[in-house]
Structure 1
């Protein structure tokens, strides 16, 4: 078995379908997500934002038709029976990988997929909107997240700030004005102007963990 593929035991007793309920079973689900590598802030039994985002990431990875972040019967069964940690396309090096097909962000360390985050990339639509930083100016473009191999080239460690097309949180730029940044809206589909949205707690963790320093390679692909 390749070194990038890591086996994990199935869960016994099986996990229950809890929807978004708090409690001991939620803590078991959180612990399972962490074991598999889907980032969640902790296994405290509070079914909050990061748990819902992690479940949505798991559902996206597994190819569920309508990932909604709720633990229904199929999700509980899949979490219980998954016996391999998730694997991104990269199988060597240390990098950030963004899969636009699955709408997921992977952290790959020494060729192994360590963490998977829910993400939302550019929606591919044209836009014409006011420049939030230059009154009277209009910005037009297409909402694309550029594919290819890039690098983190600038960053802003402070909290929210007004980007040209709206508020963004603690961005790490990797090509032009396109960044991985925190957002209050990370749906199960591409929704941004081109940036890669993750949750605000996830962005805080990215900064605090040091997992995405300056010059980090960022590989963006369509997942095909």
Structure 2
């Protein structure tokens, strides 16, 4: 059955679900350039992150529950709201929507959930600051293919675009902004994919 057909008759899926309907969602999200992880019919953390991103792009509350409205959206999906129209190769980080979108050749190649700076004050070794992801126009100047043990924590495959601010994998990527300023990316699968897609010198736009 096509995803767009008889959405009201499809089962409601929650985290932990298994079966053919889960595999349908995984296959569809992958085709739409989200990253649900392995297409294995198991609703795990990778799929939940992808569902959150999809629901946010489509104006739905990011609950992770795949009900009638999400099934309908899978049949008639919206494109992410563009922050810029050029260049053709770029990364867009939306702090409002907590999304990262990678464009290559003007086309979407990856849409992922993220968690940016919390806005809270923090102190480290006597120095205090506000956990803020800066808005602006940047470009990737450094990548580390592996773990970096930074002063504020461990970063998986960080992609630096503004001083010590990077997009990087982390095991915890909550729905709310929670980082010290970086853009957290689900790991390992999505962080690995992002690392492959984003080269040195690629433009990064944060809004």
TM above 0.5, yes or no, is: yes
Is 1:153 paired with 2:149?
Answer: no
Rate the CA distance shift 1:35–1:54 in 2: closer, same or farther, 3 A: same
- Aligned position for 1:3: none
Q: Structure 1: any 5+ residue segments left out of the alignment? A: 1-8, 130-136
Paired residues of 2:26 and 2:41 also in contact (CA < 8 A):
yes
- Aligned position for 2:168: 181
Q: Distance in 2 between the 1:127 and 1:83 partners? A: 39
Q: Distance in 1 between the 2:80 and 2:46 partners? A: 18
Tell me which of 184, 199, 203 is aligned to 1:213: 199
Paired residues of 1:16 and 1:76 also in contact (CA < 8 A):
no
Tell me which of 120, 134, 159 is aligned to 1:125: 120
In the TM superposition, residue 194 of structure 1 has moved relative to its aligned partner by: 0.3
Tell me which of 46, 71, 85 is aligned to 1:91: 85
- Aligned position for 1:5: none
Q: How many residues align?
A: 201
Residue by residue over 1:2-31, the C-alpha shift from the partner in whole angstroms, topping out at 9 and shown as x without a partner, is: xxxxxxx86235353211211110000111
Q: Distance in 2 between the 1:205 and 1:127 partners? A: 31
- Aligned position for 1:111: 106
Q: Distance in 2 between the 1:18 and 1:10 partners? A: 14
In the TM superposition, residue 167 of structure 1 has moved relative to its aligned partner by: 1.7
Paired residues of 1:68 and 1:188 also in contact (CA < 8 A):
no
In the TM superposition, residue 83 of structure 1 has moved relative to its aligned partner by: 4.5
* Cα root mean square deviation, aligned: 1.9
Q: Distance in 2 between the 1:187 and 1:110 partners? A: 30
Paired residues of 1:87 and 1:113 also in contact (CA < 8 A):
no
What secondary structure is seen at the aligned counterpart in 2 of 1:56? Answer: helix
Paired residues of 1:122 and 1:190 also in contact (CA < 8 A):
yes
Residue by residue over 1:54-104, the C-alpha shift from the partner in whole angstroms, topping out at 9 and shown as x without a partner, is: 001012222334x13222333233223x24444533333101110111000
TM-score calculated relative to the size of structure 1? 0.82
Paired residues of 2:12 and 2:68 also in contact (CA < 8 A):
yes
Q: Distance in 2 between the 1:74 and 1:37 partners? A: 20
Is 1:58 paired with 2:58?
Answer: no
1:29-40 aligned at under 5 Å gives the runs 29-40=25-36
TM-score calculated relative to the size of structure 2? 0.88
Q: Structure 2: any 5+ residue segments left out of the alignment? A: none
1:19-30 aligned at under 5 Å gives the runs 19-20=14-15, 21-30=17-26
- Aligned position for 1:72: 67
